[in-house]
Chain A
Amino acid sequence: MLNKLLKRSYLGAVYLFLYAPLFLLIILSFNSSEFGTKWTGFTTDWYLKLFNNGTLMDAAVNSFLVAVSSATTATVIGTLAAVSIFRFRFFGRNFLMTMLYIVMMSPEIVMGISLLILFMTLNIPLGFQTLLIAHTTFSLPFVMIVLFTRLSDFDKSVIEAAKDLGADELKTFWYVILPSIAPAVVAGWLLSFTISMDDSIASFFTTGPGFEVLPLKIYSMVRLGIKPEVNALSAIIFVFCIILVVIAQFLLKERKK
């Protein structure tokens, strides 16, 4: 009994460590005091101030555009590739898988500078297009791993049946495979969207002064000190991400039972 209590309090303490700072941040975003953690009254002023901050809103729109387009690109390329890797044996298959794992494991800063060197060498101006490339690249392995997990319990004989009934490759993919892996495809998109919205290190190297994104804007504000608007902004982003991640996890769990 004591043992159980001890275990529970240990779990509780770690969860408290992980979540207390974030909840504090959310509470402080409604605090009318501009400095410190002393509660001086409830206010939504910081949120209003946030929505009236033009450059911040521009950065938010930019981040959203990059996240939607990179998540979509990564999901389309990643889904098609994951299905082919799952179904076919071909030359270089292991090499491809190794490259994906290395992309997933590499420190983000290494990816950031390597792409910066590539873009500068090719004279590609830094901005939306370079961010799109960087974000698609780091999202691809995540999309594909989510799909591999889902595909691993896909019955290959269904594909044979579709073939016997005269479906071509495209039809088999569209009418047989895709409907069955759709939840994982959506989950992969949501997770890519989240990591794109949150990314600061790769974006730091691959965007130019003309195209600001939200995490970098937050980064420059946070370096200067603590601001209630940042608390409000962080609270919004955090809650938004939680919702997306919970939906994604729900989609991935749903059929496993």
Chain B
Amino acid sequence: MKERNLFQIVTIGIIAIWLVIFALIPNIMVFAVSFMERSEESFIKAAFTFENYRAFFSSMYFSIFAASFKMAFITTLICLVIGYPFAFILARSGSRFKSLLALFVIIPYWTSALIRTYAIKVILTTNGLINTFLIKAGVISEPLNMLYTQGAVVLGLVYTLLPFMILPLYAAIDKLDTRYIEASQDLGASRLQTLAYVIIPITVPGIVAGCLLVFLPSLGLFYIPDILGGAKNILIGNLIRDQFLNSRNWPFGAAASNILTIVMAFMLFAYYKSVRAINRRVL
């Protein structure tokens, strides 16, 4: 009995200490810093102020937040619209290659998002694939300016994050009990009714999880606007980075990062609610 306690205490102790020091405490520090004042010498000055949060509503920052949320929302919507039918067809196909096909979605999930963003730049650039093709085909005579637009940033976000939408959806649909669909059809529902009243409600946890995994990073992935968007189309992530590395306004950067944390908290709450309602985890 004593021995068992030792093994348990040591193994649990290490991870608990690690997570408290390197995850819990740093996050509490960000929260605390967001209420402090900036200082030229030591980054922060102990004080208590709401000024950093009030600054969000100044016209300059507000438009950045609004634009970033808009891009994240559009990205999430596009990923959901492309991803749901894809995950559905894949999960319900009886193909022998089903697990191989799923593997091809998992691969981009784990590979470098930076490199994948760069690949998009190669395609969109002035003498890139699309322009070369369109000029050759005689559709256009002058190369299109596709880089450094909001569309380019959204395309980069969708390209990078689509696998993060598909995987939880696939997991949710894959676990779906076929008998529900059969029951619905036996009771006379049309295919559209079955989709709207049976399939989609049961897969809500997958939808919420996918939206969480896409929406949050699309507020923070600052290198995508850097590579594809130029200076105009920036994300909250770019703003946070600049506060920490260029303008050295840590308290304001911390306050901006708390917005991301709050969004995460809301979405996780929605996820747990939906899991409880449907009684099925996908994450």
Contact = CB atoms under 8 A, between A and B. Distances in A.
Interface stretch (B46-54, B61-69, B216-224): B216-224
B128 interface: yes
A32 interface: no
A28 interface: yes
A215 B106 contact: no
A231 interface: yes
A107 B220 contact: yes
Contacts of A24: 119, 122-123, 129
Interface in B77-100: 82, 85-86, 89-90, 93, 99
A230 interface: yes
A55 B113 CA distance: 22
B147 to A, nearest CB: 10
Contact of B119 (A22, A90, A195): A22
A219 B110 contact: no
Interface in B16-50: 16, 18-19, 22-27, 29-30, 33, 43
A103 B122 contact: no
A160 to B, nearest CB: 12
Nearest to B23: A103
Interface stretch (A42-50, A178-186, A233-241): A233-241
Contacts of B90: 11
A222 B121 CA distance: 9
Given A21-B116, A198-B111, A201-B222, A114 B29 contact: yes
Given A77-B18, A107-B216, A237 B115 contact: yes
Interface in A237-254: 237-238, 241-242, 245-246, 249, 253
Interface in B92-145: 93, 99, 101, 103-108, 110-123, 125, 127-129, 132
A90 B22 CA distance: 22
Contacts of B113: 198, 200
A254 to B, nearest CB: 12
Nearest to A110: B257
Interface in A183-224: 191, 194-195, 197-198, 200-201, 204-205, 215, 218-219, 222-223
Contacts of A223: 226-227
A195 B15 CA distance: 20
B244 interface: yes
A168 interface: yes
Nearest to A242: B107
Interface SS majority for chain B: helix
Contacts of B123: 21, 24
Nearest to A249: B103
A36 B244 contact: no
A10 B103 CA distance: 17
Question: In the complex, which range does the number of interface residues on chain A fall in?
Answer: 35 or more
B12 interface: yes
Nearest to A195: B110
Interface residues of B, number: 82
Contacts of B254: 113, 117
A36 B163 contact: no
Contact of A108 (B29, B107, B220): B220
Contacts of B148: none
A200 B223 contact: yes
Nearest to B120: A21
B64 to A, nearest CB: 15
Contact of B220 (A15, A121, A197, A201): A201
A241 B112 contact: yes
A37 interface: yes
Contacts of A61: none
A120 interface: yes
A117 B29 contact: yes
- Kindly name the residue among B90, B219, B223 whose own CB sees the greatest number of chain A CB atoms within 10 A: B223
A21 B122 contact: yes
Contact of A115 (B26, B118, B159): B26
Contacts of A113: 30, 240, 244, 253-254, 257
Interface string A80-103: 110111011010100010011111
Given A99-B23, A249-B106, 14 more contacts: A10-B85, A11-B86, A17-B162, A21-B119, A28-B122, A37-B132, A109-B222, A109-B237, A109-B241, A117-B30, A173-B7, A201-B220, A219-B226, A241-B110
21 contacts: A18-B159, A21-B116, A77-B14, A80-B11, A81-B11, A84-B7, A102-B264, A107-B217, A109-B257, A111-B26, A118-B22, A136-B18, A140-B15, A195-B110, A198-B114, A198-B115, A204-B241, A219-B226, A237-B112, A242-B107, A246-B107
Nearest first, the 4 A-B pairs at minimum CB distance are A114-B26, A36-B127, A21-B119, A169-B7
